[in-house]
Structure 1
Amino acid sequence: MRATPPVEDLGEGLWSVPVPIPGNPLGYTLVYVLESPRGPVLVDAGWPHEDSWGALTAGLAAIGTGVADVHGVVLTHFHPDHSGLAERVRAASGAWIAMHGADADLVRRLRAHTPEEHRDLQAERMAEAGASPDEVARLRAAPPRMAPPAPPDRELADGDLLDLPRRKLRTVWTPGHSPGHICLHLEDADVLFTGDHVLPRITPHLGLYTLDTDEDPLSAYLDSLTGLDAVPATRALPAHEHRFTGPAARAAEIAAHHEDKLDRLAALLDARPATLWDLSARLPWARPWAEMGTLARRMAAAETAAHLRTLERRGRARRRDAPGGTPGWTAPRAPARP
């Protein structure tokens, strides 16, 4: 578990408030607080837990303000370690909540089903990927994940300025980690809030969670990494780990990492179709496949699916659908099976 850093004054009316994520190896989310004449605006809000709420309220008090004073919360994306406390902040202060329209649409779709329905759908997708019946059964028996966040009051698009008096905080749409992930360029302070898009040491999860879609999250992510070249900011303030300089250079390193992973995956393909689960098991991960739990394997398979989708788009992989069976992938010139 990462040690939680202190609340920090970053200068120019900007603060960093670490909010813990209990039981998660990431350790904490860095919530950023921007001072404004109408009250502070938060960039992200933190995980929905009493310990997290206590850290957020104590951090705001340490910088001379409080939850009731918050003017707005802008979310880099909808994941619970970023959005989880936003609704509670809104209830305490009347603050607006903003996120990109693509994530707002996704939140509305997620809220149309119960957490139990989502868990069962995930189990069906694991079976489609080639997971064993035992693993599918373990996921069905697991507690359902938490409900998605409340829909935002305001939806953002690329290039939009936030409601932040006397400051210029501009939306930079960076899809990939989520469909509506955004970075935020504080143009009057040479700062780019990168959310999970660009982190100093690790890379964000990129998942394709259903094969029955035309989405290509990895290609979208690689394009949005390249797009950071056009953002004139040298100081990066990520949601995890620590601050760093040169976000465009770090983005290029992450892109190279994914290109290497695409090459590794392509090298595993041959004439015989392999399932998504089998290919995932043969790739290198931070933790060996044999030591992963069911949920970790599901996320790894979703990331493999995202890389396979990009290989398909580039003509480097071919999907073979068996009627009523499990899909498989081969090298692009592999002969069709009789």
Structure 2
Amino acid sequence: MTPELEYPFPTLPAPGETIEVAPGVHWIRMTLPFALNHINLWLLDDGEGVAIVDTGYDIDSTREAWDAILGRLGRPVTRIIVTHYHPDHLGLAQWLAERTGAQVSMSLGEFLAGHTVWNALPGYNETDMVAQFRRNGLDETRCQAFVSRGNAYRRGVPSLPASYRRLYGGDKLVIGGREWEVITGYGHSPEHSSLYCAEAGVLISGDMLLPRISTNVSVFAAAPDDDPLGRFLASIRGFERLPEASLVLPSHGNPFRNIGLRVVQLIEHHDARCAELLAACAEPRSAGELLSTLFPRPLDTHQVMFAMGEAIAHLNHLEHKGEVRKVEGIDGIVRFVKSN
């Protein structure tokens, strides 16, 4: 019989409600205004108070849900932990900090990345992203859609903390009398923090390990030759050391068990993606030309951003492995061709 992931909680938390998934660990589900329509957030009992892990995207329904949850808590928020800088995770961190008086904790890489994208600094703004996509063969109609969109990051993140408590990989956070190890992951974001509690048998995986979809891995204009996919695959292999029975709490999808199987599935998925691209690169092809190879369905502007970043990431990974080489045509477009 083919092994499968186990989903022990078929019922979803209602808006503004929580479900206890392990002793002292509570699941919240918030709305997102995208095709990926939800994010999971977590409350951890912390003595006389409660710690928050991730904060949601800034829309009215998320603020209303937090108002309902905070109104029922009847105890203080001790800290706000952010796994990474993406707007559905960092979005309301500063708002919650102002509401509760709790300090925000996150890694240096994520703190700086949030400020970099929010302030549209070089290599991390719409102008440079469009230039990168154009250089990688994205058609002009789609490029112009990004130009007119502006800084989409600020829509989900109204404000950012000016100070924070820094998390390091290997840190042991004592929350509710139990140790939670900070596990740093790379590739999806600069310095993603997952949290593992051996005593509870729980991994808060953030976006590093999702049960039904693959985590987006993209190349930024600031580092056009980077290999984030290689670092992502190395990072998720690190989860294989955790007990198979660990309850994984992902940011999207339902809590699940059988962690090793999911790591294998994701590695196989990316191997298959790379094989498809390699077969398509018998002749020089750009990431823009190969979008339909990776994503054979209609994509909106938001999805095209992730799809282009992911296509470039897979092609860069193949180049780092020596399986393709990069060539630049007289038209200025970067293409990849299978190595001899």
**TM-score tier after normalising by the smaller chain length:** 0.7 to 0.9
By how many angstroms is 1:38 displaced? 4.9
By how many angstroms is 1:91 displaced? 0.4
Superposition TM-score, scaled by structure 2 size: 0.87
Give the 5 Å matches for 1:303-318.
Answer: 303-318=310-325
Runs of 4+ in 1 over 4 A off after TM superposition: none
5+ long unaligned stretches in structure 2: 1-10
1:31 counterpart residue number: 41
- Distance in 1 separating the partners of 2:139 and 2:37: 32
1:70 counterpart residue number: 77
By how many angstroms is 1:143 displaced? 4.2
- Is the 8 Å Cα contact of residues 120 and 151 (structure 2) preserved in structure 1? no
- Is the 8 Å Cα contact of residues 22 and 200 (structure 2) preserved in structure 1? no
Paired residue secondary structure (2:27) = strand
When residues 60 and 94 of structure 1 are mapped into structure 2, their CA distance, relative to the original with a 3 A threshold, is closer
User: What is the RMSD of the two structures over their aligned residues, measured on CA atoms?
Assistant: 2.3
Measured against aligned partners, the alpha-carbon deviations of 1:92-141 in whole angstroms (never above 9, x if no partner) come to 111111112222232233244379x8222222122111122232222212
Task: Specify which of 277, 280, 288 is matched with residue 268 of structure 1.
Answer: 280
2:205 counterpart residue number: 194
1:336 counterpart residue number: none
- Is the 8 Å Cα contact of residues 44 and 176 (structure 2) preserved in structure 1? no
Paired residue secondary structure (1:205) = coil
- Is the 8 Å Cα contact of residues 123 and 140 (structure 1) preserved in structure 2? yes
Measured against aligned partners, the alpha-carbon deviations of 1:175-196 in whole angstroms (never above 9, x if no partner) come to 1211211211022201000111
- Is the 8 Å Cα contact of residues 117 and 153 (structure 2) preserved in structure 1? no
1:174 counterpart residue number: 185
- Is the 8 Å Cα contact of residues 16 and 33 (structure 1) preserved in structure 2? yes
When residues 212 and 191 of structure 1 are mapped into structure 2, their CA distance, relative to the original with a 3 A threshold, is closer
- Distance in 1 separating the partners of 2:325 and 2:94: 44
Give the 5 Å matches for 1:261-300.
Answer: 261-270=273-282, 272-281=283-292, 283-285=293-295, 288=297, 291-300=298-307
When residues 213 and 92 of structure 1 are mapped into structure 2, their CA distance, relative to the original with a 3 A threshold, is same
Paired residue secondary structure (1:237) = strand
When residues 212 and 326 of structure 1 are mapped into structure 2, their CA distance, relative to the original with a 3 A threshold, is farther
| AA at the equivalent of 2:49 | G
By how many angstroms is 1:214 displaced? 4.3
- Distance in 2 separating the partners of 1:280 and 1:306: 12
- Is the 8 Å Cα contact of residues 13 and 27 (structure 2) preserved in structure 1? no
Measured against aligned partners, the alpha-carbon deviations of 1:9-42 in whole angstroms (never above 9, x if no partner) come to 2242121121222x32322211110111252101
When residues 16 and 186 of structure 1 are mapped into structure 2, their CA distance, relative to the original with a 3 A threshold, is same
- Distance in 2 separating the partners of 1:159 and 1:214: 29
- Distance in 1 separating the partners of 2:141 and 2:35: 27
Measured against aligned partners, the alpha-carbon deviations of 1:210-254 in whole angstroms (never above 9, x if no partner) come to 284442110011001111012236111111211111222211111
When residues 190 and 74 of structure 1 are mapped into structure 2, their CA distance, relative to the original with a 3 A threshold, is same
1:238 is the counterpart of 2:250: yes
Normalized per residue, which structure has more strand? 2
When residues 45 and 312 of structure 1 are mapped into structure 2, their CA distance, relative to the original with a 3 A threshold, is same
> Structure with the greater relative contact order (CA < 8 A, sep ≥ 6): 1 or 2?
2
Measured against aligned partners, the alpha-carbon deviations of 1:302-323 in whole angstroms (never above 9, x if no partner) come to 1011001110111111001346
When residues 26 and 4 of structure 1 are mapped into structure 2, their CA distance, relative to the original with a 3 A threshold, is farther
Task: Specify which of 61, 86, 89 is matched with residue 96 of structure 2.
Answer: 89
Number of corresponding residues? 321
Task: Specify which of 132, 135, 148 is matched with residue 139 of structure 2.
Answer: 132
- Distance in 1 separating the partners of 2:42 and 2:120: 32
- Distance in 2 separating the partners of 1:211 and 1:82: 22
By how many angstroms is 1:82 displaced? 1.1
Paired residue secondary structure (2:42) = strand
- Distance in 2 separating the partners of 1:27 and 1:134: 26
- Is the 8 Å Cα contact of residues 179 and 217 (structure 1) preserved in structure 2? no
- Is the 8 Å Cα contact of residues 120 and 126 (structure 2) preserved in structure 1? no
- Distance in 2 separating the partners of 1:4 and 1:119: 36
Question: Which sits farther off after the overlay, 192-201 or 230-239?
Answer: 230-239
- Distance in 1 separating the partners of 2:31 and 2:120: 28
Paired residue secondary structure (2:13) = coil
| AA at the equivalent of 1:320 | V
